Amino acid sequence: MYKKDVIDHFGTQRAVAKALGISDAAVSQWKEVIPEKDAYRLEIFTAGALKYQENAYRQAA
């Protein structure tokens, strides 16, 4: 799941942080691909509007 898509969905970084119960600073430290545990939580929280993308977390062999 990509940070840009998450922020686009929620509108602001602060709204993302509030939805996950984490700090704004934690969200600001995300790289392009958000932490996998947060991606799982957001897929559930958004009822599938945001999708966990397994391939974003798997390195090519």
The domain spans of the chain are 3-57
Position 49: which residue type? Answer: A
Per-residue burial over 28-52, b if 16 or more Cβ lie within 10 Å, else e, is eebeeebbeebbebbbeeeeeebeb
Residue 4: name the closest of 55, 50, 58, 47 by CA: 50
Tell me what pLDDT residue 60 has: 46
pTM to 2 decimal places: 0.87
- Segment 29-61, tens digit of pLDDT: 999 999 999 999 999 999 999 999 999 888 644
Say what the pLDDT of residue 58 is: 85
Distance CA 21, CA 16 (A): 8
Q: Which fold has domain 3-57?
A: 434 Repressor (Amino-terminal Domain) (1.10.260)
Distance of CA 59 to the CA centre of its chain: 19
